């Protein structure tokens, strides 16, 4: 888990820390689909599913802000 309270993803093409970290992790060999942003979970149910994926090892890295995680 990576806690980052700066540069949260906006969907725009400008630089953000989240996308940068994800791309660097992919370059190091972590499959793209095993890296998640907490901001992709839009409600409590999706958040619980994401946490279950983390516990089960289906997701290896979770990046998010302190308040969201």
Confidence tier at 10 by pLDDT (50, 70, 90): low
Q: What is the mean pLDDT of residues 2-20?
A: 79
Cβ neighbors of 56 (< 8 A, separation 6 or more) are none
For the chain, the domains span 2-64
Q: How far is the C-alpha of 35 from the C-alpha of 30, rounded, in Å?
A: 8
Confidence tier at 11 by pLDDT (50, 70, 90): low
The answer, as to whether pTM is greater than 0.85, is: no
Q: What's the CA angle centered on 42, arms 60 and 11, to 5 degrees?
A: 80
> Could you report the per-residue pLDDT of 19-69, keeping only the tens digit for each?
899 999 999 999 999 999 998 899 999 999 999 999 999 999 999 988 888
Residue 7 in this model has a pLDDT that exceeds 80: no
């Amino acid at each position: 888990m990576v806690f980052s309270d700066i540069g949260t993803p906006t969907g725009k093409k400008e630089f953000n820390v989240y996308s940068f970290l994800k791309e660097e992790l992919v370059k190091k060999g972590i499959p793209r689909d095993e890296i998640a942003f907490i901001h992709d979970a839009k409600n409590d149910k999706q958040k619980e599913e994401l946490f279950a994926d983390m516990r089960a090892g289906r997701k290896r890295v979770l990046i998010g802000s302190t308040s969201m995680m």
